[in-house]
Structure 1
């Protein structure tokens, strides 16, 4: 008889409901660390609250980290040291060095680490990836990606010193897509309007990041946190030598950051199913720990480009 998977959830922000719903749909036993908002989630989903982080880790087979980015390294390493598998929301860490430290620790401990880059599990993006891999548009030459909406409510998202930032938190989704579709990056250029002041962003901010891929393709990525009420919209266009592929969320039904309930299975359920299946079978998930580090590495280069006003090269 298969034992029920015990999952300890750390974090109770806006991303918590789809994680909890996805885990419960998979038959997992979910516990959540007590923090602001946890009581409401526990009552809504009838899950247990655990007061102490170490106790939560001890009682779990798998730890799901959805807390603010600057906490990821410490929590992940605590869980890994106790021999627990880890799901970690993007970005894996605030710096490439910290992200690599988490990956090495998981490898050394023999536990699984799953960076949660959910856009890989949105059906429209997955279909584009499959078409590119099948050669349907020839060799990729240019990718254009956009992700714009109202800014988040929690102040830490706007504080780059606390692990926030538009590029780090929002645009990393599309940076990961560019890496997935066009491969490793040679150089990164970034601009931001308005600039941060002492690491703190204005409430209305946009940025553009250009990636020069080693294979010759160029990715142009636009992101924005705008005023309250701004509709959330994403778009992708992949241009190849023999054709192009595109998707614009404005042309599809949506409910905030997610497709509507009748648009198909939640990408979070698809993502968590992939992770749990990979854990049970010892197979690869759709995203690897190394790819989680690569996304953080490109984000870091983008911030260095913002500071220096010149393109930043990424070492092989």
Structure 2
């Protein structure tokens, strides 16, 4: 009797101890399935978010998608981190001819960059084209792009638009050609950066002279972006450069770009037909090696008329 009781107790204990093992086996078998389901869910969620972004970039900042207005100011966030990575300079020109801010008794809401008719203009960031229009007394032929990082960029006075409304573009895609359309006194690109319809000084983020962005990110703050924009003009605006041209456009640049005192003036030379690096070096009192170093070119680089070279 006692032996039977012992046997029953042992069997009971064995069955109880086996339960966690069976449970662990079940969990072990279930784990790969859970991981696969989680991966499927992640892919589906990523695709859903991606599709929503394509439909309306930066939808968390903008209530709607409106093709009627180039810009309409809405409520600004107190702060917002703008991702400047994966950018492309809208033009290879390093010459600014007019700053952001007060000009001729009114506010100039962007930068003017010297380009020539037919020069390629590119999307600064990836996004979706919101507007492609013509405005005779303003932007001329212009394009507005809403980007995934929250910014909207405006490209004005172009001779030709190469994109259509609601078209998805990637950073660096050609969107138009330089021109002199609309309210313009000479061929140039009018370039604006806006957040929630409010104009921000592009020099807060872009350094056209060095063809780069200022940082990987720009932290927008509603209570300080205006004063920061004034400081950026002094660091990277028209007053921080000097352009030496050899043709009639000297007067345009001289009158548009106000003089400013800076510790080190950057000077540029615009290549004329038939000029060589040796000719330019002698004219600007420098060397061919220095011209190559400053402009990241080689001695065998073919110079094109109108090309801008840094020489100091």
| TM-score class normalised by the smaller sequence | under 0.3
| Bigger-Rg structure (1/2) | 2
Query: Relative contact order (C-alpha < 8 Å, sep 6+): which is higher?
Result: 1
What TM-score do the two structures reach when normalised by structure 1? 0.25
Q: Which has the higher helix share?
A: 1
